[in-house]
Chain A
Amino acid sequence: MFLTISTTGTPERPATDLGFLLHKHPGKAQAFSTSYGTAHVLYPEADAERCTAGLLLEVDPVALVRRGKGKGRGGAPDAALAQYVNDRPYAASSLLAVALSTVFSSAMRGVCTARPERAAQPLPLCIEVPALPARGGPDLVRRLFEPLGWAVTVEPVALDSEFPQWGDSRYVRLVLASQTLTLAEALRHLYVLLPVLDDAKHYWVALDEVDKLLRAGEGWLPGHPEQNLITSRYLSRRWSLTRQAREALELVRLAEADDSAVEEIDNAVEAETQTEEKPTPLAVQRRDAILAALRESGASRVLDLGCGQGQLVQALLKDPRFTEIVGVDVSMRALTIASRRLKLDRMGERQASRVKLFQGSLAYTDNRLKGYDAAVLGEVIEHLDLPRLPALEYAVFGAARPRTVLVTTPNVEYNVRWETLPAGHVRHGDHRFEWTREEFRAWAEAVAERHGYGVEFVPVGPDDPEVGPPTQMAVFETRTVNEKEAKAA
């Protein structure tokens, strides 16, 4: 990984002063050892008019992997494969930012005993980063650097010239130019914004790194229009790193066994930055509609099948009429988050006795799910491949047989009303299908018929006269009576 910092000068103010400002002699190539490899500083050009310093970090990829987990077993056996073949040795990532702060620490603080007046003044600067990973693309790169006074040239790098249909990679070639910034400011911008753009999940950065980053943002970060994004990407990185390590390695391995990108498999829970935001109005309306239907059904023992991160369970807990609430999900990651959200380990015994969370799957019948008053399948069925829907149908309506079943699913007709949704797209990457009102109705009525339920349909959200509501809900009630009632009748 590599970047260059150039400046121009005049005989009075020679460009070679850059060497003083950086505390690195332009006539030498110097090597510094950093946490992840050796950093080299060298000057491809150095005269009064023009001086360029290059920082080259030789990352040791083998050591990189072992560093995290080694424990003397020689091969970090439980590391993800992605860590062995990755872009770290080439791309200007967070590792380069760390190297930058190590090698140019004085310059970053603006300290220069030899040329103190120059350190405090702006100078003409040109910074080139040939391979910068930029999640968010050229547009975000501009939004991050331009407000700070940089003229930004940013070009996407093609993924593979032999396969133009693959499109652009996540890397850009970045050139920054400015006349108005000091070198220290420039370095601090890079130090913070390189990792923000990288937004990689693979490397743990020490906890105090966050503080360091915030310190480096002093003076420019608070007023930055993208301050929230910059900050939240740091926080999200912290979270996902710790979670990744603890919870999902088994899934990572299964993804790798399948030659799949990990995100294709381990996607039951959306990135935490998104999920921690306020729920969308539709999600709230959906939850309210479900709660209303549950109350109307008179249920007190309720299953939330596909409980995800436990939002509905949390709402149910607030109403004492629900005496037993069971959240079931197939994703262990979702359950862990739900348990954290509900603060299960700190809940009082009485309250805790009302709620249970466990892993389950509706592809299988499950004795633990029998005998409940009601079951909620909120935005669940569309996450199943259609051929596997009959198994869910049997597990819920045939085997578990709660008295009431609520099923919600998107109404695909409404998608034309979402301005942000491109035509023909589903609302969520993992939606295997989205149904029209008619398709949903046909399915629900057939299910009801097969299993002895009656079914009614309730719109959720604004019921558009043309395309219907954004979410459709079916309320199933068992039709078969039990023997006692039959005799009484």
Chain B
Amino acid sequence: MTENRTKGRVLPVTDLSLVVLVGASGSGKSTFARRHFRPTEVISSDFCRGLVSDDENDQSATRDAFDVLDYIAGKRLAAGRRTVVDATSVQQDARRRLIDLAKQYDVLPIAIVLDVPEEVCAERNAARPDRADMPRRVVQRHTRELRRSLRHLEREGFRKVHVLRGVEEVENATVVTEKRFNDLTHLTGPFDIIGDIHGCSSELEALLGKLGYADGVHPDGRTAVFVGDLVDRGPDSPAVLRRVMAMVGSGNALCVPGNHENKYGRHLKGRKVQHTHGLAETIEQMEGESEEFTQQVREFIDGLVSHYVLDGGRLVVCHAGLPEKYHGRTSGRVRSHALYGDTTGETDEFGLPVRYPWAEDYRGRAAVVYGHTPVPEATWLNNTICLDTGAVFGGKLTALRWPERELVDVPAERVWYEPARPLKSEAPGGHDGRPLDLADVHGRRVVETRHAGRVSVREENAAAALEVMSRFAVDPRLLPYLPPTMAPTATSRVEGYLEHPAEAFAQYREDGVARVVCEEKHMGSRAVALVCRDADVARKRFGVDRSTGSLYTRTGRPFFDDESVTEEILGRVRAAITDAGLWDELGTDWLLLDAELMPWSLKAAGLLRSQYAAVGAASGAVFPGALAALESASVRGVDVSDLLARQRERAGAAAAFTEAYRRYCWTTDGLDGVRLAPFQILAVQGRSLADLPHDEQLALLDRFVEHDGSGLLQTTRRLYVDTADPESVRAGVDWWLEMTGRGGEGMVVKPLGAVVRSETGRLVQPGIKCRGREYLRIIYGPEYTRPDNLARLRQRFLNHKRSLAIREYALGLEALDRLAEGEPLWRVHEAVFGVLALESEPVDPRL
């Protein structure tokens, strides 16, 4: 900064604002903007004129140019970026448009006027070739209009007006960026946010004591934050004011205004307000107070900022709640929403306005902590929480510890004031609330994942998932996870085999994974089970009545149409968990299990009949006749030997195919014959177990299966292999050969450490399936083992499948993390929905 510039005027400009430069053509606006703002902050009307007409001075393009300017400015302001408009803006109409724009995005409009003598402007224009023939009268008009405007700029709505007079003042001015009042992102607390007090002084003191404050000071340096409505209705509003004002004054507290302070403040300023809703009590109680105290209260209320953004933007505190687009914004309507919330325009049967449930729509990352609407219990909804638990109505006074997210409360000593309507016993959104919104899942989307960054979902895949999710899936509240797809092993070159475990071990060795576990692939259908300890847990944690969990397929469909059958299975699983002592050991009252449900024919009956058994039936019907005909022809001396041999081979392959699918079918009666083999505990209360090493997982599950007295549960056989040890690898291959030789489906090879990254930091495949030679007949067709078929089938491309497996895996992990951390339903559902959508991506279905 040069010496002479510091001598000049200092212009404070708010960090998020719409800065309007006002000055005649040639007054030096562009130079000023260049000097004081980043180039991307500045939008000039000349530039926009050029965009739409190829000529920066084409006045006929002005209207379109300003449309473009408004559009760009709007996008920037919506994104929270300061924007400087470089246009003459000497006319009131032009400025009004910009003020409206600032209002639309709830930012401060600021005017910086460059009042430069007309001759200077004219001279500068004359020196510019593109403006050399601009008539003198244009600048004259600009200057005239500017002068006329100067007086009413503030009245027009500019919240700051800086007028620079003369060339020198323009040259020497300095712009300094100022933070907004509501921006306290640098304060990280820790905080104790306290709900609506309404003059309940005694409860406030009790709560402060419980929180650890002594005379308004916390020994650990915590800061109290009051959500407003300190006064009215209750027994001692002055005492509450005194306490809060002292704490704010000494820097031990922050306070945002409630609608009751606001109204009382207007009363103190001498405005006429109705003394209703408990204001009369406050006025009466304040009568005993000194003039000086009343004056202090007036100033205190006057100085309150509508809301605060705290803790690096992670926390927003205000009185009546605030949608994300208003966070950190400054406008009349932001203040109004912060004080009063939003209403639908309807009134309820008590004559009170119906509040718009803004929190249902809330999708922001910042937690919004507020009060205003009395509720019986403070509960989180979409990362928002209302702390008004009706202390003055005989409820309790509640505080939220941040960042601990712990609730602390003290009961009201008595009912101090009768409520106009009963406290709503339901969370916003109603009993079946926590609604999901279509905008959470619809269209092209990008889901942020902790493990693999951004995962995108294409529109057509989301559309298919929407149909399946809506028409067939279980209640999304009971659908906190969907299993990812799994890639098969690289194609084997071993004669007669398409898949062989040697490839799986080699791949993990290459990825730097030494220890793997081979888990038997059960011959059933993938099943996810959410098991709650009892119906009460299901209601409290997952918000559902009538069930104690869910049992669903890999696309989220219930396994059984009859809910009582599901409950019966959940009951048996629950009993085993209880007997194994897992609830306490894992510190949870619900469990999410990944499992296989058998037999396959239970779930896939339709597919079996329409496809697999049909192929068996057709081949069984056709070959006897065809072979007999060929044999007869052969007897007649017709040379059909090659053809006959081939048909016999085909008949054999078809019979092998029929045998293959039959192994996956058996008759069940009720739950007799049904088996469930859990192979991973995915998550429990407060914790995703996806990263628990598989040996520990299996040890837990073994104990749990052992305690099953119903014959439902089945263990998963496994073998641990060291990928670097040829002996161990050979043992793994032999194990697989033995298992599949007896008709087994095959196995899944997984890194022992569960969630594992390669040296380059990429997620390695969480599992590689290696399917048995006979099983593959029902995937690749009865005759796939013929050498010419195998040769062609070996041309298979795994990259897309592998990428899909990793992306779905990342989404699955994300869903589990979000679930474990108690994130809002829509956040969990977003990831789950993503898995389902990706499942509809085009990939070779045989992989």
Question: A residues near B, CB below 8 A?
Answer: 1-2, 4, 27-29, 40, 42-46, 52, 54, 56, 58, 61-62, 73-82, 84-87, 89-92, 128, 130-131, 133, 157-160, 162-163, 165-166, 169-171, 173, 249-251, 253-254, 256-261, 263-265, 268, 330-332, 359-368, 383-385, 387-388, 390-391, 393-395, 398-399, 450, 452, 480-483, 486
Tell whether A450 pairs with B430 under 8 Å between CB atoms, given A163-B665, A265-B468, A481-B346: yes
Tell whether A394 pairs with B435 under 8 Å between CB atoms, given A79-B845, A160-B617, A265-B468: yes
Of all chain A residues, the one with the shortest Cβ separation from B844 is A77
* Chain B hits for A259, CB < 8 A: 525, 553, 600, 603-604, 607
Give B480 Cβ to nearest chain A Cβ, in Å.
16
Of all chain A residues, the one with the shortest Cβ separation from B626 is A2
Q: Which residues of B in the span 511-565 have a Cβ within 8 Å of any Cβ on A?
A: 525, 544, 546-547, 553-555, 557-558, 563
What is the predominant secondary structure among interface residues of chain B facing chain A? helix
Assess whether A394 is in contact with B463, with CB atoms less than 8 Å apart.
Answer: no
Tell whether A482 pairs with B557 under 8 Å between CB atoms, given A85-B781, A86-B615: no
Give A338 Cβ to nearest chain B Cβ, in Å.
15
Q: Looking at chain B, what size class is its interface with the partner chain? A: 35 or more
Assess whether A77 is in contact with B475, with CB atoms less than 8 Å apart.
Answer: no
Assess whether A254 is in contact with B465, with CB atoms less than 8 Å apart.
Answer: yes
Of all chain A residues, the one with the shortest Cβ separation from B463 is A332
* B781-793 Cβ-contact flags toward A at 8 Å (1 or 0): 1110000010011
Assess whether B554 is in contact with A258, with CB atoms less than 8 Å apart.
Answer: yes
Of all chain B residues, the one with the shortest Cβ separation from A480 is B346
Complex Cα gap A260–B559 (Å) = 11
Name which of B558, B622, B841 has the most chain A CB atoms within 10 A of its CB. Answer: B622
The residue from B461, B558, B611, B633 contacting A82, defined by CB atoms under 8 A apart: B611
Complex Cα gap A335–B199 (Å) = 58
Indicate if B616 sits at the interface (CB-CB under 8 A). yes
> When A and B form their complex, which 4 residue pairs have the shortest distance between CB atoms, in order from nearest?
A250-B464, A44-B632, A250-B840, A78-B842
Assess whether A258 is in contact with B555, with CB atoms less than 8 Å apart.
Answer: yes
* Chain A hits for B360, CB < 8 A: 365, 399
Of all chain B residues, the one with the shortest Cβ separation from A479 is B349
Of all chain A residues, the one with the shortest Cβ separation from B469 is A363
Complex Cα gap A398–B344 (Å) = 12
Indicate if B303 sits at the interface (CB-CB under 8 A). no
Assess whether B346 is in contact with A483, with CB atoms less than 8 Å apart.
Answer: yes
Assess whether B667 is in contact with A56, with CB atoms less than 8 Å apart.
Answer: no
Assess whether A131 is in contact with B464, with CB atoms less than 8 Å apart.
Answer: no
Give A200 Cβ to nearest chain B Cβ, in Å.
11
Name which of A169, A263, A393 has the most chain B CB atoms within 10 A of its CB. Answer: A169
* B642-659 Cβ-contact flags toward A at 8 Å (1 or 0): 010011001000100010
* Chain A hits for B461, CB < 8 A: 250
Give B798 Cβ to nearest chain A Cβ, in Å.
10
Of all chain A residues, the one with the shortest Cβ separation from B556 is A258
Indicate if B612 sits at the interface (CB-CB under 8 A). yes
Give B154 Cβ to nearest chain A Cβ, in Å.
34
Tell whether A77 pairs with B842 under 8 Å between CB atoms, given A84-B781, A91-B618: yes
Complex Cα gap A91–B611 (Å) = 13
* Chain B hits for A398, CB < 8 A: 429-430, 435
Complex Cα gap A163–B601 (Å) = 11
Assess whether A29 is in contact with B603, with CB atoms less than 8 Å apart.
Answer: no
* Chain B hits for A258, CB < 8 A: 553-555, 557
Complex Cα gap A85–B661 (Å) = 12
The total of interchain contacts (Cβ-Cβ below 8 angstroms) comes to: 296
Of all chain B residues, the one with the shortest Cβ separation from A170 is B614
Indicate if B421 sits at the interface (CB-CB under 8 A). no
Assess whether A253 is in contact with B840, with CB atoms less than 8 Å apart.
Answer: yes
**What are 22 A-B residue pairs whose CB atoms fall within 8 Å in the complex?**
A4-B625, A42-B630, A45-B632, A62-B793, A75-B844, A77-B800, A81-B845, A84-B781, A84-B846, A85-B611, A160-B616, A166-B609, A257-B554, A261-B611, A264-B606, A330-B470, A363-B436, A364-B435, A365-B435, A387-B475, A399-B435, A480-B346
Give A326 Cβ to nearest chain B Cβ, in Å.
14
Assess whether B460 is in contact with A250, with CB atoms less than 8 Å apart.
Answer: yes
Indicate if B374 sits at the interface (CB-CB under 8 A). no
Complex Cα gap A169–B612 (Å) = 11
* Chain B hits for A74, CB < 8 A: 795-797
Q: Which residues of B in the span 433-477 have a Cβ within 8 Å of any Cβ on A?
A: 433, 435-442, 460-461, 463-472, 474-476
Give A89 Cβ to nearest chain B Cβ, in Å.
8
Complex Cα gap A35–B481 (Å) = 46
Complex Cα gap A73–B781 (Å) = 20
The residue from A130, A257, A363 contacting B476, defined by CB atoms under 8 A apart: A363
Of all chain B residues, the one with the shortest Cβ separation from A389 is B432
* Chain A hits for B795, CB < 8 A: 74-75
The residue from A4, A159, A261 contacting B629, defined by CB atoms under 8 A apart: A4
Tell whether A131 pairs with B618 under 8 Å between CB atoms, given A253-B841, A261-B606, A486-B347: yes
Complex Cα gap A91–B623 (Å) = 10
Assess whether A165 is in contact with B667, with CB atoms less than 8 Å apart.
Answer: yes
The residue from A44, A263, A362 contacting B470, defined by CB atoms under 8 A apart: A362
Assess whether B840 is in contact with A254, with CB atoms less than 8 Å apart.
Answer: yes
Tell whether A2 pairs with B525 under 8 Å between CB atoms, given A85-B781, A257-B555, A359-B463: no
Indicate if B354 sits at the interface (CB-CB under 8 A). yes
